[in-house]
């Protein structure tokens, strides 16, 4: 069975086809009326005249309401003046179901109202564009790794231990035990790298962030590659190639959507390797030069990140952070014991951190000492330490937060529009 | 930087390259020794002689232990007698880290022991093969939908309502509210279909199954397509095309892995459209003909499914089930009010249900009546009912459980080997 979708209109110009969708807008003008038909892949202007359409179809103009479902049969032709570049001369309209008065109108609604109606708001042109760009970003992520000898290793959501801090954990009863929802798949990813060489995991992760910010969701998707025999430099090489590929795929496949969002694409076209690489210490100097009262050893805040990233027209990679502000599993810098071989990538235009990663500690003694510093025991990380007991190996990896990347590439003000049904501290429904 | 992986050996025959991996096996024979090197993508036999290798490298034979990490430089040549068809004449070996005595040996370990060491067990040839087939299945799933005008709509894990029964819910505290972990993304997928036409969601889902069976995990991955303007027949057309595509992709890309698993591939080659389609009522007759004491209205158990599916050499689709044993959102059969337009697909060889789906109820009055029959209220499903208020539309979809498909395609006895870190009623670690 052949299907016709508006996004493929170019392929069926001149054919008589049936499009299936919803009334996005209706405009009447005497003996002719125009139906903007939305089918989820695009919008088609359907021209309905009493000459070309049958009587019942033409008469629908007085009945059809916004978001009513309808089948429209007609001939498609190129029409540069129409939205999307095509229009349909309608022969027949079949109303599937009339819609009650649609709660979302052209007028400004408050964000809470729109979020309460997220299931309907997704039908709007702008939200449609964002989610389709999200799709392309996710496809680019998987294609990138699939084409480079990575194996997909899905890591568990239910975990027994906390990796990124107990303050932000979601817990659930698990047959008499306590299970925590994954904040990261990394430790499991390291086991995967020992078994498969280069791996990635990609799934939802959870952090009970109590802060209400433009950059945080409680449920967000993260991709985490982990590579055996990669050092920090190779990690950075991969990270910049990866982000460049994602941006290029969006530019190649989602120009109309970027236009809908009025995104300045010249900013995206600038995203080319190599990315600038600066050490944390150099980052501190940039802040101090810009008048920020910042001491070596402090962690960068959102404002600090913006100042650093605004020095560059593409993402900047900051490496070698103070050990004290980074996670226990990061490898000590062989040249400076106060530092770890960490890597953060900051997006341009003030969008903040999109990647966090590191080379991992492969020396079991140093690792155990870091674990004890954190107040944990060897026993807590028994299986993880096995990866150092049985053929320890240099390895590196990073995590990229999908919604942050969508926010940046789409040029959005707030992360809540980057996922179909966002979850925040005050939002669990719909 | 060029990388060399064993799975691509054909591409670098005759070249001097460095392979990075772990000692999978060592065999000594006087003036020559053989190292089976595992790099996660394959196994390469490295031939080490005192003539071709330097003295220190040759002497490693007395030091290297199983799973020690090592870099091996040498020339690769085709060698049909070697595992994988290639071997390397080693010039230089660099030991990265010596492994302690490896806890997994060739001898039979109990399943609990292997599961306790899952992080290491994944390194074995058999587990490696299964996870790589899993990767190909997941890639095939996404490629299939991406190539057919579907939009990826990730549905939320944190949900406010139960869709598939409260008995099997995992719950978590959510800032003073109760959140349930997704058992399905379907209701959200229906909102997605209204916004994007054809969508799929694909992520982990959770069911607190108290039963210990070969077919159940508490955490499993499910892909759920949902299509606007699809009726039950179109749903079945898509489902059979989809499963056929997945099997064909595995046959095309994972022959060596299927061989490792000793899978009878002739059984997989038989998976071609069209699949047989029988009604539930016909299924009941098959059972009765086979001497099963089964009444119309009962649900099929695992044994019943095996009897039905054993009549066919490919998956069978069973449609139109009694309404009373199926979920509230399924559309009533216009020709028999006792039935719903449900669809289950049963894999051959006794592997049971791999797909469950239906055409969805698009009549709001019938839907509300079913909701009330279940003891819920309109208010509980307020946003879901909006999908019928604002442009209701015929639509259908289904869910395919990834781990069940991996079990079937790999020909496994138990589902626990189909995911890197399985979660069952008694297994939360590692």
What would the pLDDT profile of A111-168 be if each residue is shown by its tens digit? 999 999 999 999 999 999 999 999 999 999 999 999 999 999 999 999 997 666 677 8
Q: What angle do CA A297, A302, A303 make, to 5 degrees?
A: 90
Residues B157 and B294 placed together within one structural domain of the fold: yes
What span, in angstroms and rounded, lies between the C-alpha atoms of B222 and B247?
Answer: 17
Q: Is residue A1 part of a domain?
A: no
CB atoms within 10 A of CB B412: 19
B157·A391 Cβ contact <8 A: no
Q: Which three-class secondary structure state does DSSP give residue B9?
A: helix
Q: Which residues of chain A does B103 touch, with a Cβ-Cβ cutoff of 8 Å?
A: 390
Q: What is the CATH number of the domain that holds A173?
A: 3.30.930.10
DSSP characters over A84-147:
GGEEEEEEEEEEEEPPPPPS--SSPPPHHHHHHTHHHHTTSHHHHHHHHHHHHHHHHHHHHHHT
Residues B88 and B123 placed together within one structural domain of the fold: no
What span, in angstroms and rounded, lies between the C-alpha atoms of B127 and B24?
Answer: 14
Q: What is the pLDDT of residue A99?
A: 98
Domain enclosing residue B60, as ranges = 6-97
Among A96, A172, A198, the residue with its CB nearest the CB of B171 is A172
Q: Is residue A425 part of a domain?
A: no
User: Hey, which residues 383-402 in chain B have their CB within 8 Å of chain A?
Assistant: 383-384, 386-394
What span, in angstroms and rounded, lies between the C-alpha atoms of A127 and A410?
Answer: 11
B429·A127 Cβ contact <8 A: no
What would the pLDDT profile of A268-308 be if each residue is shown by its tens digit? 999 999 999 999 999 999 999 999 999 999 999 999 999 99
Residues A158 and A202 placed together within one structural domain of the fold: yes
Torsion sign (Cα): B174, B177, B180, B185: negative
Residues B316 and B361 placed together within one structural domain of the fold: yes
- CB B190 within 8 Å of CB B360: yes
The average confidence (pLDDT) of chain A is 96
Q: What is the pLDDT of residue A5?
A: 98
State the best of B154, B177, B186, B392 to mutate against chain A, taking most chain A CBs within 10 Å: B154
Q: Which residues of chain B does A152 touch, with a Cβ-Cβ cutoff of 8 Å?
A: 134-135, 138-139
Contact residues for A356 (Cβ-Cβ < 8 A; gap 6+):
A342, A343, A344, A345, A398, A399
Q: Residue range B353-371: average pLDDT?
A: 97
Q: Spell B226-242 as b/e; 16+ CB within 10 A means b.
A: bbbbbebebbbbbbbeb
Residues B156 and B57 placed together within one structural domain of the fold: no
Residues B42 and B123 placed together within one structural domain of the fold: no
In chain B, the residue whose alpha carbon lies closest to the alpha carbon of A21 is: B197
In chain B, the residue whose alpha carbon lies closest to the alpha carbon of A429 is: B160
Q: Report yes or no: B132 at the A interface, CB cutoff 8 Å.
A: yes
Give the residues across from A78 on adjacent strands.
A86
Residues B293 and B345 placed together within one structural domain of the fold: yes
Residue B90, pLDDT > 90, answer yes
Residues B379 and B316 placed together within one structural domain of the fold: yes
Q: Is residue A182 part of a domain?
A: yes
ipTM of predicted assembly, 2 dp: 0.97
* Number of separate domains in chain B: 2
Q: State the smallest CA–CA distance between residue A344 and chain B in angstroms.
A: 22
Q: State the smallest CA–CA distance between residue A100 and chain B in angstroms.
A: 6
CB atoms within 10 A of CB A287: 19
Q: Is residue B294 part of a domain?
A: yes
User: Hey, which residues 144-203 in chain A have their CB within 8 Å of chain B?
Assistant: 146, 149, 151-160, 170-175, 177, 179, 181, 188, 191-198, 203
Q: Is residue A144 part of a domain?
A: yes
What would the pLDDT profile of B387-422 be if each residue is shown by its tens digit? 999 999 999 999 999 999 999 999 999 999 999 999
Q: What is the pLDDT of residue B83?
A: 83
Among A97, A120, A131, the residue with its CB nearest the CB of B153 is A131
In chain B, the residue whose alpha carbon lies closest to the alpha carbon of A121 is: B195
Residues B142 and B92 placed together within one structural domain of the fold: no
- CB B154 within 8 Å of CB B122: no
Residues A164 and A93 placed together within one structural domain of the fold: no
Q: State the smallest CA–CA distance between residue A372 and chain B in angstroms.
A: 20
Q: Is residue A110 part of a domain?
A: no
What span, in angstroms and rounded, lies between the C-alpha atoms of A14 and A75?
Answer: 6
Residues B244 and B370 placed together within one structural domain of the fold: yes
B135·A151 Cβ contact <8 A: yes
Among B5, B210, B430, the residue with its CB nearest the CB of A383 is B430
Q: Is residue A332 part of a domain?
A: yes
DSSP characters over A52-91:
TS-HHHHHGGGT--TT-EEEEEEEEEE-TTSGGGEEEEEE
Q: What is the CATH number of the domain that holds B55?
A: 2.40.50.140
What span, in angstroms and rounded, lies between the C-alpha atoms of A68 and A98?
Answer: 5
Q: Is residue A429 part of a domain?
A: no
Residues A218 and A256 placed together within one structural domain of the fold: yes
What would the pLDDT profile of A368-402 be if each residue is shown by its tens digit? 999 999 999 999 999 999 999 999 999 999 999 99
CB atoms within 10 A of CB B274: 12
């Amino acid at each position: 069975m052949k299907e016709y979708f508006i996004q493929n209109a170019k392929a069926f110009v001149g054919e008589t086809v049936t499009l299936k969708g919803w009334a996005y807008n209706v405009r009447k003008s005497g003996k002719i009326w125009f139906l903007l038909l939305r089918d989820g892949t695009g919008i088609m202007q359907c021209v309905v005249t009493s000459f070309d359409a049958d009587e019942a179809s033409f008469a629908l103009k007085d009945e059809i309401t916004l978001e009513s479902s309808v089948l429209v049969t007609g001939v498609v032709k190129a029409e540069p003046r129409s939205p999307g570049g095509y229009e349909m001369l309608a022969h027949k309209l079949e109303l599937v179901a009339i819609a009650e008065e649609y709660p979302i109108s052209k007028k400004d609604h408050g964000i809470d109202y729109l979020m309460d109606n997220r299931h309907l708001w997704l039908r709007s042109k702008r939200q449609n564009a964002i989610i389709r760009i999200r799709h392309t970003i996710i496809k680019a992520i998987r294609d990138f790794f699939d084409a480079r000898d990575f194996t997909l290793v899905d890591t568990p959501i239910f975990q027994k231990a906390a990796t990124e801090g107990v303050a932000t954990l979601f817990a659930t009863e698990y047959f008499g035990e306590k299970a925590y929802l994954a904040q990261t798949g990394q430790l499991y990813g390291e086991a995967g790298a020992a078994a498969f060489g280069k791996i990635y995991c990609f799934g939802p992760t959870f952090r009970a962030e109590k802060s209400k910010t433009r950059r945080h969701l409680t449920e967000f998707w993260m991709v985490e590659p982990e590579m055996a025999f990669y050092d920090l430099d190779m990690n950075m090489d991969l990270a910049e190639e990866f982000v460049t590929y994602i941006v290029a795929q969006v530019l190649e496949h989602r120009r109309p959507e970027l236009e809908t969002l009025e995104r300045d694409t010249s900013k995206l076209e600038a995203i080319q390797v190599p990315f600038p690489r600066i050490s944390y210490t150099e980052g501190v100097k940039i802040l101090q030069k810009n008048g920020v009262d910042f001491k070596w050893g402090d962690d960068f805040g959102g404002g600090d990140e913006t100042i650093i990233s605004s020095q560059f027209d593409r993402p900047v990679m900051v490496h070698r952070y103070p050990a004290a502000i980074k996670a226990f599993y990061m490898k000590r810098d062989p040249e400076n014991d106060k530092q770890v071989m960490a890597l953060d990538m900051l997006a341009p235009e003030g969008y903040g951190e999109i990647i966090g990663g590191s080379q991992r500690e492969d020396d079991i003694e140093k690792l155990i000492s870091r674990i004890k510093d954190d107040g944990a025991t060897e026993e807590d990380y028994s299986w993880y330490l096995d990866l150092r007991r049985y053929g320890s190996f240099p390895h590196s990896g990073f995590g990229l937060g999908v919604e942050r990347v969508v926010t940046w590439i789409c040029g959005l003000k707030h992360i809540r529009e980057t996922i179909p049904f966002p979850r925040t501290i005050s939002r669990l429904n719909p």
